[in-house]
Copies of this chain bind each other. A is one copy, B any other.
Amino acid sequence: MFESKLNKDNSDWKNSFLFQKWEKKFLNSGCKISDINCLGSSTYGGSLKTLFLSVKFVTPENHFMERSILIRNESVVIIPFRFLGNQPRFLCVMQRRITDGNISIEFPAGAVDDFKSPREAAVLELYEETGLKLKQKKLISLKENLRLSESLVDEIVHWYGCDIAMCDNKNDYMDELKIGKKKYGNMGEGEHIKIEFITLEKLKKIKSFHMRIALSFINNELSISCDDK
């Protein structure tokens, strides 16, 4: 299962795909690294999941800077929706989260591992977290390459829509009471997920970057009307 370790005394992390991908991108900017230290890391199933580094570098403008950064894989978010008459309903995942211990309401999401494309990861996460089976070509591209944070986390997020009417097993999602009783998630990762159809009004009350951005995609890219406020 989950393991964590401190890499104070070895530099294995320098050979990781995760680090090298970030380093290549960073050096492309013209910045030069003068020193780098691993402040911590977490691994999952033997492979590196998160690297926490302190980096000293010189910018092309010749400024010396020192910053810490958390390096992670890219990730995907999928917004599954269907219409009940004229009313849109959104399929959300509910689970306990470490940030405050409460049950959060989010759209299905997950990391893109080293050997998958974002679209492959999106189809897999959607199935793992909601049971919905969707062919890759039927994913709706909303926005690729959206940066989660400028100053702390090196994570790029790809957003997709999923019209549940396009899913192979759409009929299993007609009975809202029935789906509410099932459990989803990757048990090996200790995920315990419940799913529920949520109205637009309820989504608007959730105070998170995740939901605020999802609503902007729902409103603009998916053109599902949100009369804001």
Contact = CB atoms under 8 A, between A and B. Distances in A.
Residue in A37, A40, A59 with the greatest tally of chain B CB atoms within 10 Å: A40
Contacts of A215: 216
Interface in A96-152: 96-102, 104, 106, 143, 145-152
12 contacts: A4-B68, A29-B100, A29-B102, A65-B98, A97-B150, A99-B150, A99-B151, A147-B210, A148-B208, A209-B209, A209-B213, A212-B213
A163 interface: no
Contacts of A106: 150
B101 A31 contact: yes
A216 B145 CA distance: 18
A202 interface: no
A97 B64 contact: no
A-B interface, 10 closest residue pairs, ranked by CB to CB distance from nearest: A40-B40, A29-B101, A39-B40, A67-B98, A31-B101, A147-B208, A4-B54, A26-B101, A2-B66, A220-B228
A27 interface: yes
A159 B14 CA distance: 37
Contact of A63 (B104, B192, B216): B192
A173 to B, nearest CB: 23
Interface in A58-98: 59, 61, 63-70, 72, 96-98
